[in-house]
Structure 1
Amino acid sequence: MHSFEVVVRPSRWGLRVRSALICAGVVAIVLGVGAIAWLWLLHRSLIGSLDAATGARVDDIAAQLVGSGPADLSPGLFTTDGHIDIVQILDATGTVVRSSGGAPSAALIAVPDSAVTTGRSLGGEADLRASARTLDASSGTFTVLAATSGEPVEDTLKEVTIGIALCGPVVVLAAASATYTLVGRSLASVEAIRAHVASIGAERLAERVPVPIAQDEIARLAATMNAMLDRVQAGRDAQRRFVGDASHELRSPLATMIAALEVGRDHPDFVDRELITTTLLPEAERMRHLIEDLLTLAATDEHGLALRTTDIDLDDLAATAAALLRHHRPALHVTTDLHPVRLIGDQQALERVLRNLVDNAATHSESRVVLTTRATDRRALFIVDDDGPGIPIRDRARVFERFVRLQDDRSRNSGGTGLGLAIVAQLVAAHHGSVTIEDGPHGGTRVVVVLPIDQHPT
């Protein structure tokens, strides 16, 4: 039943079969139309040759008949061959006064009304075609007629038609076979690429498909497959690094909390407010931040950021971030230079951007953090300066990657996860903005966030 459905349903036919059938159909149509046109032109040409021959004989006889009578004409004008079958000369009453050998005694046609008649079909078994001419000679008015049979033309057309009918299917079959073979060879290259890609497992992602020398569609397909394998390998490597780094980051606070809890279990007297405040709560808070960051990045990788946009006063967000920093780090000198900036964006996402940048600056600063907002050229700028050790130029792009720390020990002691700047880069990119790192005016780092004011994020 399945094989029958494959045969009767064209949608189940393979590309080779469909291509061969389409080619056969096109060639058959073109061959049929061409054959009809060719036969018509051949018929016109052969008939024209017959009419030209009879017309030429009539003209020759008429030229001699003008100055002499029918009986005085040269006998060669009345000979018959493959082009002329019958010659007759009629007087004014339509009576045959002289004719070629074997010609009927009766006139083939009545005296025509017109002076010249060419290519007139007389019908009959011989399918005669005649040319005639009426003229006034010295001995009277005569009509000269020459006729020939159209059967040779019909025989020729039949032979040509039979030849086309015999050769046409051969041509159609040859075209279909050639198409089937050529498409099969082309698909063989595609199948080789598919089989090679199918054989590449998770542990062999470094392998690539050979690219043919010819710069055609197959070569572009192979190059595209290699580019896809590059992306898969890069994604796999990034996922492995991500999982390894996340496991490492989670292991540290978990180990600290488990150790503290084991101490509390074995020595209940040691569990006091100081242990909870200095050990358990900071490590739990660090784990919470890490899990939130991981969930944010995972959601971004899988679905992209779904932003809920509204009108936002960037200077108000910066003022709130500065107030929170003064509250949590009273020893830190926090100054602001805030100019009114209003834009369209996701408030929670931009709050996260500002909080991460402010926390990062506070972590690495010596004593001072400066927040600035301003607008220029339909762009909103948020600038964070600190007086810390700064970031080397070679590392300024790398710090936006995940789990990148330039000072691992201090970052871990401060509760950093190495994901803050990566999240900032993701959120800013979702707003069609950019974030860059420069040398700060206070000897530390300057982080500049540029956002469009009136462009809706995606």
Structure 2
Amino acid sequence: MADSPYAWWRRQGLRFRLTVVAATVLALALAVSASVLLTVLDRTLIDTVDDSTRAQAQTVRVQADSDTLTTPITTHDGTIVQVIDAAGRITHVTYGADRLVPLLAAHDRERALHEGSATFVDGRPYAIPGPLRVVVLRADRGQTVIAARPVGEIQTSLGTAARVLFVGTPLLIVLLAAASWLIIGRTLRPITALRRGAAEITHTARSRRLPVPESRDEVHWLATTLNGMLARLEEAEQRQRALVSDAAHELRSPLASIRLQLEVALGHPEGQDWPETAEGVLEDAMRLSRLAEDLLALARLDERGGVPARNEPVQLDEVVRQIAERHGEVRLTVCDPVLVRGDTLDLSRVLTNLVDNAVRHTSSKVEVALTADGVLTVTDDGPGIPEEDRERVFNRFTRLDSGRSRDEGGAGLGLAIVQETVRAHGGVVSLEDAGPGLRAVVRLPVAG
């Protein structure tokens, strides 16, 4: 079954389609222009002949009214004139004009006088080649003046112009189509360069960028946008590779510890304290479990692309109270009613990570506060974090060398999960100096 013309058209290249469309529009424009030109030219030339013939007829009518006509009548532009009396006889004519047969019959003369416009007459019966343009005027004493001018030359000129346009217009269309083909090809050349540059970018040449044309046009901005996308993809790939590398490094330590404890226990079973060995293996297994849960949480956040799992009303003050009750060392100072939109489990994880982090590093107390404007703060009186490191600790697998380094199995993912989750809910998180200690501040948009 043959494809439809539309399907064939869609398969053609952009350069071909643009050229065909440009040539078609140009052909239509030239055809309309040629038609209008010939029509206007014909109308203008005929009007010029009518005005000249009418002026000559007016001159003869004045002479007829004053009875000063001469035989033959003299005209300066070759106009043919006949003067007919009331009885229908031809009394005066120009040189060479018919003296017996009027150019217009009586009823045609009356109609021309009534309409007041010039008319066409075939000149061949009067031995005049081509058509005539005839004007009729009424004179005194029942006389009628008929003036005529041959318009064969005008029609010949119009025919010549039409033939020139008929031959020249297709040639012009072909010429302009070829020019359009070349111009469109040069215009699309940067796109071809982009395609070739994209084909050369492989997994071994990830840092390459697409060529950016110098012209500040749409292709320039397209290349700039694509290069930005490549940079973001490269950054995401680097982050992914770093995440895999860091995750493998974190998994290696507890796995090595488990293996060592089991090898020692199996190598000396008679002197091994098996409950102690089981406790050590369980501790490392719990550490592996927490790491797997954190990695899974980050993977889900990345998969959702910065959007919470659910977008439902959450009474944040109830979440704060529940978590504060589970930690005996946490004191809830302020807990105003706050309604936000998002996922309850994700927001609970945010507060749990902040509280666990604060409890792990506090000296004596941890204070939690929630105000009506959606600001949640978790404050401890521990060693704090230097100001230059307060942004860096939100990176994945980041641990400082100070008192907030790894302890109790921490892998440096808690604050990263907090930041990604808060961003997904349209909020921001920051760390501030509590003098002494550290204050984590979470600002969430209040619903309604």
TM-score, normalised with respect to structure 2: 0.90
Contact 2:308 2:343 (C-alpha < 8 Å) held by counterparts: no
**Structure 1 runs of 4+ off > 6 angstroms?**
4-8
Residue 353 of structure 2 is matched in structure 1 by 356
- The one-letter amino acid of 1:399's match is V
- RMSD between superposed Cα atoms in Å: 2.5
Question: By how many angstroms is 1:264 displaced?
Answer: 1.8
- The one-letter amino acid of 1:361's match is A
Is 1:337 aligned to 2:333, yes or no?
A: yes
SS at match of 1:363: helix
Residue 49 of structure 2 is matched in structure 1 by 50
Is 1:275 aligned to 2:277, yes or no?
A: yes
Structure 2 CA distance, aligned partners of 1:115 and 1:413? Answer: 116
- The one-letter amino acid of 2:442's match is V
Residue 87 of structure 1 is aligned with which of 81, 85, 90? 81
SS at match of 1:452: coil
Q: Could you list the runs of 5+ residues in structure 1 that have no partner in the other structure?
A: 327-332
Is 1:447 aligned to 2:444, yes or no?
A: no
Residue 106 of structure 1 is matched in structure 2 by 101
Structure 1 CA distance, aligned partners of 2:315 and 2:92? Answer: 119
- The one-letter amino acid of 1:381's match is V
Contact 1:6 1:13 (C-alpha < 8 Å) held by counterparts: no
Structure 1 CA distance, aligned partners of 2:197 and 2:189? Answer: 12
User: What whole-Å deviation, never above 9, does each CA across 1:90-111 have from its counterpart, x for those lacking one?
Assistant: 1111111121232222111245
Is 1:21 aligned to 2:23, yes or no?
A: no
Structure 1 CA distance, aligned partners of 2:425 and 2:114? Answer: 94
Shift in alpha-carbon separation, 1:400–1:79, aligned structure 2, 3 A: closer
Contact 1:116 1:133 (C-alpha < 8 Å) held by counterparts: no
TM-score, normalised with respect to structure 1: 0.88
Structure 2 CA distance, aligned partners of 1:306 and 1:51? Answer: 85
Structure 2 CA distance, aligned partners of 1:275 and 1:36? Answer: 102
Tell which deviates more after alignment, 316-325 or 213-222: 316-325
User: What whole-Å deviation, never above 9, does each CA across 1:354-402 have from its counterpart, x for those lacking one?
Assistant: 11001111122122211222213xxx22211111111122221221111
User: What whole-Å deviation, never above 9, does each CA across 1:287-327 have from its counterpart, x for those lacking one?
Assistant: 1111111111112212345523544443333333233333x
Residue 233 of structure 2 is matched in structure 1 by 232
Shift in alpha-carbon separation, 1:217–1:15, aligned structure 2, 3 A: same
Shift in alpha-carbon separation, 1:16–1:413, aligned structure 2, 3 A: same
Question: By how many angstroms is 1:415 displaced?
Answer: 1.0
SS at match of 1:59: helix
Q: Could you list the runs of 5+ residues in structure 2 that have no partner in the other structure?
A: 125-129
Q: How many residues align structurally?
A: 435
Contact 1:116 1:132 (C-alpha < 8 Å) held by counterparts: no
Is 1:346 aligned to 2:343, yes or no?
A: yes
Counterparts of residues 176-191 of structure 1 (less than 5 Å): 176-191=177-192
Structure 1 CA distance, aligned partners of 2:148 and 2:53? Answer: 6
Contact 2:198 2:210 (C-alpha < 8 Å) held by counterparts: yes
Query: Identity across aligned pairs (percent)?
Result: 37
Question: By how many angstroms is 1:422 displaced?
Answer: 0.6
- The one-letter amino acid of 1:247's match is A
Shift in alpha-carbon separation, 1:274–1:109, aligned structure 2, 3 A: same
Structure 1 CA distance, aligned partners of 2:55 and 2:295? Answer: 102
Structure 2 CA distance, aligned partners of 1:418 and 1:22? Answer: 61
- The one-letter amino acid of 2:272's match is F
Contact 2:308 2:421 (C-alpha < 8 Å) held by counterparts: no
SS at match of 2:405: helix
Structure 2 CA distance, aligned partners of 1:181 and 1:196? Answer: 22
Contact 1:6 1:12 (C-alpha < 8 Å) held by counterparts: no
Structure 1 CA distance, aligned partners of 2:404 and 2:385? Answer: 14
User: What whole-Å deviation, never above 9, does each CA across 1:392-432 have from its counterpart, x for those lacking one?
Assistant: 22221221111111137863332111000010111112221
Contact 1:428 1:434 (C-alpha < 8 Å) held by counterparts: yes
Residue 329 of structure 1 is matched in structure 2 by none
Residue 9 of structure 2 is matched in structure 1 by 10
Structure 2 CA distance, aligned partners of 1:132 and 1:316? Answer: 106
Counterparts of residues 375-414 of structure 1 (less than 5 Å): 375-376=372-373, 380-407=374-401, 411-414=405-408
